[in-house]
Amino acid sequence: MNTILLLNGPNLNLLGQRQPEIYGHATLNDAVTLARAACAEGFGIEAKQSNWEGQLIDWIHEARGHAAGIVINPGALTHTSIALLDALNAFDGPVIEVHVSQVHRREQFRHHSYVSLRADAVIAGLGLEGYAAAVRRICDLTG
């Protein structure tokens, strides 16, 4: 089975609770369920979330030679982590960056993404549907 690594960064464990006026009321488990439902036959999701940058980097390293692709919502690390970018640059498969909110309608600092420098696509503002769209795209690219 082809594995798609679904990574979520800091504070995304609080989806549905934190700032619902921005992120909605759906939870991270809801996002994972949508992602799993979007998988093409022969694909599966390995979903992980961490508030720790180093943990996310370790999981990206482990995905090398194992995962078909990575869907990542890096949370606030999007705008700050060159280390996350470097780890993603060492991964050979497709990487799709996802943001639940439309980051370009928010604070100026959210308009820059280090992860986008590596991402094969960026999905922002589709809510949780962005996760499903990203999974479908990785299935198309690698299936």
Q: Is 86 annotated as a binding residue?
A: yes
Tell me the chain's radius of gyration from C-alpha atoms. Answer: 14
Cα–Cα dist 123/98, whole Å: 5
Instruction: Please enumerate in sequence order all residues whose Cβ is within 8 A of that of 110, keeping only pairs 6 or more positions apart, or say none.
Output: 78, 79, 103, 104
> Given 99, 104, 112, 114, which residue is catalytic?
99
Q: Is 140 annotated as a binding residue?
A: no
> Given 23, 25, 61, 114, which residue is catalytic?
23
Q: Is 100 annotated as a binding residue?
A: yes
Distances (CA, A) of 61 to 18, 41, 81, 95: 29, 26, 15, 13
Q: Is 79 annotated as a binding residue?
A: yes
Is 23 considered catalytic here? yes
Phi, psi dihedrals of residue 96, rounded to the nearest 5°: -125, 125
Q: What is the dihedral of CA 108, 83, 86, 14, to 10 degrees?
A: -60
Q: Is 29 annotated as a binding residue?
A: no
Cα–Cα dist 97/78, whole Å: 9
Q: Is 58 annotated as a binding residue?
A: no
Report the binding-site residues for substrate: 73, 79, 86, 100-101, 110
Residues carrying an active site annotation: 23, 99
Report the binding-site residues: 73, 79, 86, 100-101, 110
